[in-house]
Structure 1
Amino acid sequence: MEKGNKLYSIFRFKCPRCHEGELFKSKAYDLKNFQKMPKHCSHCGLRYMSEPSFFDGAMYISYAMQVALIITVFVALNILGFAELWLIITLSVSLSLLLIPITFRLSRSAYINLFVKYDPEKRSEYN
């Protein structure tokens, strides 16, 4: 993945406009701070939350990712022959809970990339 590609920004949690600044302040498994984002990109000055409740739409992406994950694990474990329903449900839910910080970040990153296009030359007054 190279800069200029939406997937680069989404999976590396970079600013969607410049692909340089970080979208999040800490590492994914810093459980006290995994959801905290800076107000602006440190490189181009893009304001991440362009309006109040901007990232509410990311909840739908996160929901879809969690459902896809649970269904995939459920089907894979059924195919592998784990016949015990309680074990399949426990493993599916446990994996889903472990991956909440990742799906949270991916959903926010994907959501902001829907609305902001790559433009490395553009700068804001926040620099």
Structure 2
Amino acid sequence: MFGRGSKLYSILFLKCPRCHGGAFLEANPYHLKRFNKVKKRCPSCQLKYSIEPSFYYGSMYVSYAVGIAISAAVFILIQLLGLNLTPIHIFISIVVTLILLMPYIGAVSKLIWANFFFTYDPSIAKAKQDSK
């Protein structure tokens, strides 16, 4: 489920959607100088990450959905832990969590968007593994 070949592997580990070997971003999402900057090509399989100009604008919709999911998860976690927080404290908890996770949410959203358009190719991944 989480191994190479699953879209979840590519998304969670920020790897190329086609070979699951090369890095998707130029730097760690929390490296604010190069905040979520996507590489032009995969260093492993040479896949061009951007199909067209402004390709990753669509990831804003995915980012919104991921943010809502995280907000709901924080709310449910607060309820399950039995924390007796006022609505304003719950709101602050959600906002702080979203602010702290914002760089990772942006990176994951771009990868989810890319995984809609690129599919895993086991022959490329195997060829790269055999050449090592």
TM-score, normalised via structure 1 length? 0.86
Shift of 1:76: 3.2
Unaligned stretches of 5+ residues in structure 1: 123-127
Shift of 1:121: 4.0
Read off the aligned partner of 1:27 and give its amino acid letter.
N
* RMSD, matched Cα: 1.6
Q: Identity over the aligned pairs, expressed in percent?
A: 39
Bigger Cα displacement from structure 2, 17-26 vs 77-86: 77-86
Normalized per residue, the structure richer in helix is 2
Find the aligned partners of 1:62 and 1:115 in 2 and give their Cα distance: 17
> What pairs with 1:31-110 in structure 2 (closer than 5 Å)?
31-79=32-80, 80-110=82-112
Instruction: Specify the SS of the correspondent of 2:3.
Output: coil
Unaligned stretches of 5+ residues in structure 2: 125-132
Find the aligned partners of 2:112 and 2:57 in 1 and give their Cα distance: 13
Q: Please list every run of at least 4 consecutive aligned residues from structure 1 whose deviation after the TM superposition is greater than 4 angstroms.
A: none
Residues 67-103 of structure 1, C-alpha deviation per residue, up to 9 Å, x if partnerless? Answer: 1211222243245242312211111100011100111
**Number of matched residues?**
122
TM-score, normalised via structure 2 length? 0.83
Read off the aligned partner of 1:51 and give its amino acid letter.
E
